[in-house]
Amino acid sequence: MASNPPGRRDGERQVLSRRRFMAGAAAAGAAFTIVKPSLVRAAQANSKVELGIVGCGGRGGWIAQLFARHGGYKFTAVADYFPQVADRCGEALGVDKARRFSGLLGYKRMIDSKVDAVALETPPWVFPEHATAAVNAGCHVFMAKPVAVDVPGCQTIAQLGGKATETRKVFLVDFQIRTDLFWVEAVKRIREGALGKMAIICSYYNDDGFSDPPKTKTIESRLQGLIWVNDVDLGGSYLVNAGIHAIDGALWLAGDKPPVSAMGCSRRGRKNPNGDSDDTYSVTYEFADGLILSHRGEHIQNLSGDDFCGLVAYGQGALMEGRYNGKTWLHGGEKGYRGGDVQGLYEAGAVRNIDTFHKSITQGLFDNPTVGPSVNSTLTCILGREAARNNTKLTWDEMLKTGKKIEVDLTGLRQ
C-alpha cells in the first residue's frame, strides 16, 4: 500500500470543541522538552536511527530512498500488505528477508521486531491504528497526511501526539508547504500585520485524479496505485487527500484556528466513477473572527496546468499569493515581500521533514509541533467534505458531536 503525494478510548467518546481544540493545540505548541542524549534511544548525533517503513508502494518506496539518502537512518524492517511489494522495497533497502512483513497485520509484526522509528505511508484509513501501535511500542513516528479519514481517527492522532511528547518520542506529520522558506517568510510578515486584517482567503487544488476501476469482491484491488483516493472509507476523499495541501496553507495563514462552519457543494465529474468520493468541490468556511476561506478543487482529466495548488489571501491594501509550485510573495503594503518561485517542493519538503525528524530524535526535541495543525487541517477538510456532499451548512461542533468512525470492510483480506 502507498500513501498519496497524504481510535478512540474504550468505552469513551472523545469530542473536541473548538475551544478545547485550540487550548490543546496551544499547549502542544508550548511543550518543549529537551533531555540528555543518553536518555534517548539512538540519540547520539552520529548514530543511525533504526527505521521501519509501513507502505512500500509508489510514494512509500520513493520516500524510503530519501530516508536512505539522508545518512542518519538504517532500514531494518519493511511492511506492506502485498508481499511482493515488501520484498521489492526490502531488497532495494538491504533489509533481511526475515524482516520483510506483509498482510494486514504486517505492520504489527514489523513493530514487534523492534525498530527505533516507523514511517507510515499507507492509505490514511489505517493511520490511527498503526500510529497507536507504534507509539505504544515506544517508537518515533513519521507519518504522511491526512492523519485520518474520520473524526474519531483525528482525535486518536491528537491524543497520540500528546502521548508521544509525554513519553519523549517524536511524532511528525509530513506536510511540505510549511517547510518552504518563501512561505515561512510571508507568513511571518502576515503575523506582523503585513495584510492588516485578512478578509478572505481563496485556495485551490486542481489535478487529473487517479484511476478508478470497477470494484471487485474485496477491497484488495483498491489498495494499490492510489486507487483508494477515490474511496471515502479508505482515503477520506479527494478533498481530504489532495485539497488538504491548500487548505493547510490557508489555515497556517489564519493562525491555525479551526473554522466555525462550512457550507458548499460537490459532485463526481470524472468519467465512470466507481469510488464514492466526489472530485469537484466548492466549499466556504467561516471563522469566529469573520474571516472567510473559499476553497475550490477539481480532480478530473483536463488541461489545468502546473499551478495546481495554492491560495490568495486578501487583506487591507495588500495581498499574498502562495503556490505549491510557483511564485510566492506579498504584494503591497509596508511589509511587502518579493518572495520567489517555489520549486520541487514535493521532494524538497519531504527531505526537510526527514532531516527535522532525525534532528528531533537525536537532539531530544519532543514538542511535536506538526501534530496539532495537521489534525486541525484534516478535521477542516472532513468538515468541508461532509458539508459539500450533503449540500448543507455544517458547524465544527456539529461535526464533532455526530462524527462516527468510518468502518472498512476487510472481508477476504489476508492477515
Domains of the chain (ranges plus CATH)?
Answer: 18-175 (3.40.50.720), 178-351+378-402 (3.30.360.10)
The segments of the chain whose pLDDT lies below 50 read: 2-45
pLDDT at 406: 96
pLDDT attached to residue 146:
98
Q: Look at residues 56, 218, 77, 63 and name the one whose alpha carbon lies nearest to residue 122.
A: 56
pLDDT tens figures, 307-343? 899 999 999 999 999 999 999 999 998 899 999 999 9
* Backbone φ, ψ for residue 203 (5° rounding): -110, 160
Q: What is the rounded distance in angstroms from the CA atom of residue 284 to the CA atom of residue 299?
A: 18
Look at residue 46 in the predicted model and tell me its pLDDT. 52
Q: At CA 132, angle to CA 126 and CA 138, rounded to 5?
A: 135
pTM above 0.85, yes or no: yes
Report the C-alpha gap between 205 and 42 in whole angstroms. Answer: 39
What cell numbers appear for 346 in the block?
514535493
Q: How far apart are CA 393 and CA 402, in angstroms?
A: 14
CA angle 265, 222, 175 (to 5 degrees): 65
Beta bridge partners of 263: 284, 393
